[in-house]
A and B are shown apart, each in its own frame.
Chain A
């Protein structure tokens, strides 16, 4: 188990290096624009000094090296526009985004897993078809549009929730969380259903029922537990998607998170802030993926066994699995 976790943590390093290089090189090519943009306020000599200060008289790799030196020390550079360290800006906005992504995932989990199970159990009935149509509708809706429509209905017409900002406590989280959560819910309902359908047909479920195990236990212990792995996978990827989708949702509701910061920075050509936020978001997504992978090992004893047993025992294990496959 520890070996598995260690291996996965080490795999993070090349991903972080690769992502930062990719983002840096991409945004760096646009970076000159900023200096040209504010260029009018400076004399040519000041401009040259500024170019030197940001390393524009050297190669991209030199600037990347410099940037990474800063990054490992927690210095992501200073925003041109806000005149504040990027990391500070990012960390200031991060809690709001995490709250939003967390709330929407929570909404999605709480609603979609029971719905998916119900749909799978009543396969082919009206409930099943109805929930699949709903899920497909949820997948097909552009979420900014859903957000706007929710704002019109629940904020403007009914005055239940505020339409923007985050000043009203949990109430200002409701509409953004539903907006962002709908797409996630749709995907998760579909995954839960198909995963449960696979499991429901297995012989061990029939055996459990034949033994007289109560239906609730059959579903929860024998069914859901085995159906959980694809569901966990999807929760992991959906959390990543939620962090991306938050960009759009935050902008619909003027919600002060990282996504809004990124768009503000893009619009003001504050590339150093964009670079920092993109890298930090990618790292966050990678870390979440790491946790999901570890969670697999916790849920799936087969995976756990693969890494807890030492090298010598592994041959034995494989034998067992091949025998299992023959049976």
Chain B
């Protein structure tokens, strides 16, 4: 990582060298789309973290039969469901659950994929080709089918859903990490650390990986977006979260039964998914451009 150098020299002609992250932030700030995405994400994460404090519990789960299937109105902004629960509050409340699923799924794939990819790229030779062939095999099965197979094998629980979505995108992390490690491992500074007699494990995790972070960070952001879509798709197929759990996919699934005549029940949870995914995608694209300005169009 670039350290601040020259800070103590006060000759005026020298300016303090900016840290890499300050530069990245400077470029990121100029990207309007990415800033909008970031703004939305901050709000969403804020809602997810604090929702227990201000969302009235009774609005989310109390069944009011008299209010069932009300179209959107001033009293119920997004309308009510078949049990008379307010969809606006339920959609808002589902933020925490849905975001958590996306985050955990990506953590799963990153924790498995990054070390494997790093070792494959760094060690090279037979290990690398075996790992990469296995990755090819694994990714011959479309991700959603892979996730379906894993969920039906492990059982339909929330945890297994996150695991399934996570595992099915492991190959992606292996590929990205390996490709990135390959470009870094022949750099002179790695050779220098090697000459100091450090162990390979130390070199990989202390020197190689930190310099491979840019593409991985971008991938993490973009994968959270697709993990949210995949997990809600599985819920929709009846393999993930089941109604009445307040999760966007499950809300949509519940609304599916009433789609003819009460389409608002599906409209709003879907919009919530779309806005969230869009925000992650905007931030991911923005990060890619600002972390690697050479690629920018």
Partner-B contacts on A (CB < 8 A): 14-15, 18-19, 22-23, 26-27, 29-30, 123, 133, 136-137, 139-145, 148-149, 151-152, 156, 193-194, 197, 240-241, 243-245, 247-248, 251-252, 262-263, 266-267, 269, 271, 274, 278, 281-282, 285-286, 289
Contact = CB atoms under 8 A, between A and B. Distances in A.
Contact of B239 (A30, A151, A197, A266): A266
A267 B140 contact: no
A18 B274 contact: no
Contact of A281 (B137, B142, B256, B282): B142
Nearest to A20: B137
Interface in B106-126: none
Contacts of B138: 22
A285 to B, nearest CB: 6
Contacts of B83: none
Nearest to A152: B263
B73 to A, nearest CB: 19
Q: Which 9 A-B pairs have the closest CB atoms?
A: A244-B142, A18-B137, A145-B270, A140-B278, A140-B277, A152-B263, A244-B144, A282-B141, A282-B140
A197 B295 CA distance: 11
B140 A286 contact: yes
Interface residues of B, number: 42
A29 B263 contact: no
Interface in B239-290: 239, 249, 252, 256, 259-260, 263, 266-267, 270, 273-274, 277-278, 281-282, 285
Nearest to A141: B274
Given A140-B278, A281-B142, A152 B259 contact: yes
Contacts of B285: 136
Contacts of A139: 277, 281
B267 A19 contact: no
Contact of A278 (B149, B232, B252, B273): B149
B140 A285 contact: yes
B297 interface: yes
Interface of B: 33, 133-134, 136-138, 140-145, 148-150, 152-153, 225, 229, 232-233, 236-239, 249, 252, 256, 259-260, 263, 266-267, 270, 273-274, 277-278, 281-282, 285, 297
Contacts of A263: 148, 237-238
Given A136-B33, A136-B285, A139-B281, 7 more contacts: A15-B140, A140-B274, A140-B277, A141-B274, A143-B233, A240-B142, A262-B145
Contacts of A251: 236-237
18 contacts: A18-B140, A19-B137, A22-B137, A22-B138, A23-B141, A26-B153, A27-B149, A137-B274, A140-B278, A142-B229, A142-B270, A144-B236, A149-B263, A244-B144, A248-B236, A252-B236, A263-B148, A267-B238
B256 A148 contact: yes
Contacts of B233: 142-144, 248
Nearest to B259: A148
A84 to B, nearest CB: 21
A137 B278 contact: yes
Contacts of A274: 149, 152
A148 B270 contact: yes
A183 to B, nearest CB: 9
A243 B143 CA distance: 10
A281 B144 contact: no
Contact of B141 (A136, A137, A248, A281): A281
A88 B281 CA distance: 41
Q: Counting chain B CB atoms within 10 Å of each CB, which of A152, A251, A286 scores highest?
A: A152
Contact of B266 (A137, A148, A197, A262): A148
Contacts of A245: 142, 144
B259 A151 contact: yes
B69 to A, nearest CB: 16
B233 to A, nearest CB: 5
Nearest to B279: A140
A184 to B, nearest CB: 13
A19 B297 CA distance: 38
A255 B43 CA distance: 39
Nearest to A283: B140
B274 to A, nearest CB: 5
Contacts of A241: 142-143
Contacts of A194: 297
Contact of A140 (B256, B263, B267, B281): B281
Contacts of B252: 142, 144-145, 148
Contacts of A123: 297
A30 B236 CA distance: 22
A85 B263 CA distance: 40
A244 B239 CA distance: 15
Contacts of B236: 142, 144, 248, 251-252
B240 to A, nearest CB: 12
Contact of A26 (B136, B150, B229, B249): B150
B278 A27 contact: no
Contacts of A244: 142-145
Contacts of A271: 152
Given A30-B152, A152-B259, A136 B282 contact: yes
Contacts of B133: 14, 18
